[in-house]
């Protein structure tokens, strides 16, 4: 019991004294996961919107693939990104394995289907006749898509939050393609794994508290979005 | 009379079935045309094809003589019109922003658009709701906002797709009254789909009755109501008594049609032996106690027995067996006056001018 209480006490000291190592790892996590989420936002939202608004043969298959992708196991992503970036792999010439870029790629691969799936659902859930109404008001196709995105903005915010939540808390891919190099590719999750295995519970708990805080903020937004209603 | 919108050989085919087939339809500038018909008759599909909200499968739409598509861009065309749906379909913003939204999309934002929006809010009695979120509106307020958003665009053609169907009767009545006033003021060319024939009668200059994607009849309301072209239209516009018969005799002004052994006199023309359908509207049938002395200007008086009496609110529907089944609408007052009950003997009269025959040829 003492070990836990002491760990928590130490963790708060680290947090409130703005420990350089803890802050550094947190900032780096935000940078990597934020960049990955931004990339997934462009890819996921555009593809999700297009799939939501068009009819084509095999659409159901595409939608089910996207939905499957939302639950992509990070270690599987880590494995394949590693293979692709391996020295004699197809993209080995880039020499980016065990760099932040590799982590961003892996996390973007994880987050994109999540953002895509939620955006698709968000646009599809708007009343079908809303599209006709927007066209009837004199909108161009582009204006129509922009208005639909604006109408679904909160659900799309949820997509971003879910994508970010998925990557900031994942450990498998980050450790595999990043290598947990101190001051270079070490993020909250990989640092927590390492500190725990070393028995440094104070830092591990401090890092976990930060992760929990992110999880809470993300869910706060998601809950708020879920409880909202659309006008008639 | 200028034709503003025209459809030629317009067809809409979805999933292999022909949903709309309109060889020729011309909308006159300033008129209000109602499309009536049962669910699935193609009213909504025709509105969407005419407005190019969904492209027709075949045929042409002409706006002021220009063919939409080749001569006239679909976007430019759409910017002359707008549509109000059954659902208000408001945007997730304030009432005021909803009303200006169409103007903004058409690149007419700015000060002038705000003045237009305010005037429309005023016109539909929702000026006090301007800053409210569209989410907080009642059904009636939301539909008023939707109408204000449409009229803010001063459309050359306004499409209404069952705009009142989701409203409760008092709200519907007040919005219909407002729309009637606004249409009279603005003289906006309007095409409205509805399955409520009373709404159609009240607002329209012409009514088109649709069945299976086709326009069965299009004419002035009084003609569609009293001179239906076929049994389907007759039934849909509220003709309760529709009888098959054959012309037995004719003279200069009238036909004598035999129906199940009874003879009905009708003002009109026909050939002896020709098969006809006799249409009698229930409000044109008057009832009396059969005492043999009752004088009436109606030449058709049939004695029979009352089958059922069904209260319908303002009137009672009385079913009479008089050699053929006849339906009459009688006011509650008249029913009490005559003290009629189910099973009573009654004399039912219809003027020969109030009966319509549909000629089916032959003979």
Domains of chain B plus CATH, in order, are 3-235 (3.40.50.300), 239-359 (2.40.50.100)
pLDDT at A154 over 90: no
> How far apart are the C-alpha atoms of B174 and B171, rounded to whole Å?
5
| pLDDT digit string, tens, across residues A31-46 | 999 999 999 999 999 9
Alpha carbon of B259: minimum distance to chain A alpha carbons (Å): 49
What pLDDT is stored for residue A99 in this prediction?
Answer: 95
Residues of chain B with pLDDT under 50: none
- A58: CB partners within 8 A, 6+ apart: none
Of the listed ranges A11-25, A78-92, B228-242, the least confidently predicted one is A11-25
Label residues A93-132 b or e (16+ Cβ within 10 Å = b).
Answer: eeebbbbbbbbbbbbbbbbbbbbbbbbbbbbeebeebbbb
- Dmax over CA atoms of chain B, in Å, equals 77
Q: Which of A130, A135, A138 sits opposite B106 (nearest CB)?
A: A138
The region, left, alpha or beta by phi > 0 then psi within -120 to 50, assigned to residue A163 is: alpha
> How far apart are the C-alpha atoms of B211 and B218, rounded to whole Å?
12
CA-derived radius of gyration, chain B:
25
> Under a CB-based contact definition with an 8 Å cutoff, are residues B51 and A108 in contact?
no
CB contact under 8 A, A232 and B137: yes
- Average pLDDT value for residue range A156-170: 92
What are the distances in angstroms from CA B219 to CA B2, B25, B101, B189, B216? Answer: 17, 12, 36, 16, 10
Alpha carbon of A38: minimum distance to chain B alpha carbons (Å): 25
Three-state SS for B4-41 is EEEEEEEEEEECCEEEEEEEEEEEECCCEEEEECCCCC
Alpha carbon of A156: minimum distance to chain B alpha carbons (Å): 14
pLDDT at A228 over 90: no
Domains of chain A plus CATH, in order, are 2-226 (1.10.3720.10)
User: B219 pairs with which residues across the strands?
Assistant: B207
> How far apart are the C-alpha atoms of B218 and B191, rounded to whole Å?
13
pLDDT at A191 over 80: yes
CB contact under 8 A, B90 and A229: no
> Which phi and psi (to 5°) does residue B306 adopt?
-75, 125
Q: Which of A137, A231, A232 sits opposite B102 (nearest CB)?
A: A137
Q: Which of A129, A138, A150 sits opposite B105 (nearest CB)?
A: A138
Q: Which of A137, A151, A230 sits opposite B105 (nearest CB)?
A: A137
| Lookup: tokens for B277 | 């359908």
- A232: CB partners within 8 A, 6+ apart: B87, B88, B89, B90, B137, B139, B142
What pLDDT is stored for residue A116 in this prediction?
Answer: 97
Of the listed ranges A79-88, A201-210, B72-81, the least confidently predicted one is A201-210
CB contact under 8 A, B82 and A231: no
| pLDDT digit string, tens, across residues B341-362 | 899 999 999 999 999 999 987 6
What are the distances in angstroms from CA B225 to CA A29, A34, B240, B319? Answer: 75, 68, 12, 21
Q: Nearest chain B Cα to A142, which residue?
A: B105
What are the distances in angstroms from CA B88 to CA A150, B110, B177? Answer: 18, 24, 18
> Under a CB-based contact definition with an 8 Å cutoff, are residues A69 and A117 in contact?
yes
Write out the DSSP string of A185-227: T--HHHHHHHHHHHT-HHHHHHHHHHHHHHHHHHHHHHHHHHT
Q: How many CB pairs under 8 A join A and B?
A: 67
What pLDDT is stored for residue B314 in this prediction?
Answer: 85
Nearest 5°: the CA angle B351, B355, B360 is 150
Contacts of B106 in chain A (CB under 8 A): 137-138
> How far apart are the C-alpha atoms of B47 and B192, rounded to whole Å?
8
């Amino acid at each position: 019991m003492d070990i836990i209480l002491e760990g928590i006490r130490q963790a708060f000291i680290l947090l409130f004294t703005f420990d350089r190592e803890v802050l550094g790892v947190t900032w780096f996590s935000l940078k990597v996961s934020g960049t990955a989420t931004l990339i997934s936002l462009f890819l996921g939202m555009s593809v999700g919107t297009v799939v939501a608004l068009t009819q084509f043969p095999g659409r159901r298959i595409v939608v089910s693939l996207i939905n499957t992708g939302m639950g992509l196991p990070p270690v599987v992503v880590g494995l394949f990104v590693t293979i692709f970036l391996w020295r004699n792999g197809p993209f080995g010439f880039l020499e980016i394995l065990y760099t932040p870029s590799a982590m961003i790629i892996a996390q973007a691969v994880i987050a994109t289907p999540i953002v895509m799936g939620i955006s698709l659902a968000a646009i599809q859930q708007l009343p079908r006749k809303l599209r006709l109404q927007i066209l009837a008001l004199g909108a161009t196709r582009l204006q129509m898509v922009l208005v639909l995105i604006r109408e679904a903005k909160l659900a799309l915010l949820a997509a971003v939050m879910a994508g970010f939540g998925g990557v900031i808390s994942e450990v498998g891919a980050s450790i595999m393609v990043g290598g947990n190099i101190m001051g270079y590719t070490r993020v909250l999750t990989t640092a927590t794994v390492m500190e725990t295995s070393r028995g440094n519970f104070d830092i591990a708990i401090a890092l976990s508290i930060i992760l929990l805080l992110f999880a809470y903020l993300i869910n706060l937004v998601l809950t708020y979005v879920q409880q909202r209603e659309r006008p008639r | 009379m200028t034709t503003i919108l025209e459809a030629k050989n317009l067809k809409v085919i979805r999933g292999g079935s022909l949903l709309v087939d309109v060889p020729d339809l011309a909308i006159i500038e300033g008129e209000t045309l109602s499309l009536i018909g049962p669910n699935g008759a193609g009213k909504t599909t025709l509105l969407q094809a005419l407005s190019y909200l969904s492209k027709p499968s075949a045929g042409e739409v002409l706006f002021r003589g220009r063919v939409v598509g080749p001569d006239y861009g679909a976007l430019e065309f759409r910017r002359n019109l707008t549509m109000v749906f059954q659902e208000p379909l408001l945007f997730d913003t304030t009432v005021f922003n909803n009303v200006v939204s169409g103007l903004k999309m058409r690149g007419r934002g700015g000060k002038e658009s705000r003045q237009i929006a305010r005037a429309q809010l005023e016109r539909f009695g929702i000026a006090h709701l301007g800053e409210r979120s569209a989410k907080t509106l009642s059904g009636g307020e939301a539909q008023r906002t939707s109408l204000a958003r449409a009229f803010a665009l001063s459309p050359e053609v306004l499409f209404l797709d069952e705009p009142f169907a989701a409203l409760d009767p008092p709200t519907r009545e007040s919005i219909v009254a407002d729309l009637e006033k606004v249409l009279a003021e603005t003289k906006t060319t309007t095409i409205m789909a509805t399955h409520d024939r009373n709404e159609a009668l009240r607002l329209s200059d012409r009514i088109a009755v649709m069945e299976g994607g086709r326009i069965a009849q299009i004419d002035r309301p009084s003609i569609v109501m009293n001179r239906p072209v076929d049994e389907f239209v007759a039934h849909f516009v509220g003709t309760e008594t529709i009888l098959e018969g054959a012309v037995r005799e004719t003279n200069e002004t009238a036909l004598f049609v035999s129906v199940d052994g009874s003879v009905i006199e009708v003002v009109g023309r026909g050939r002896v032996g020709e098969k006809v359908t006799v249409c009698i509207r229930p409000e044109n049938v008057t009832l009396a106690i059969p005492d043999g002395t009752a004088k009436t200007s109606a030449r058709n008086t049939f004695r029979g027995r009352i089958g059922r009496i069904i209260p319908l609110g303002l009137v009672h529907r009385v079913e009479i067996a008089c050699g053929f089944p006849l339906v009459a609408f009688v006011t509650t007052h008249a029913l009490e006056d005559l003290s009629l009950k189910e099973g009573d003997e009654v004399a039912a009269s219809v003027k020969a001018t109030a009966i319509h025959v549909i000629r089916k040829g032959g003979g």
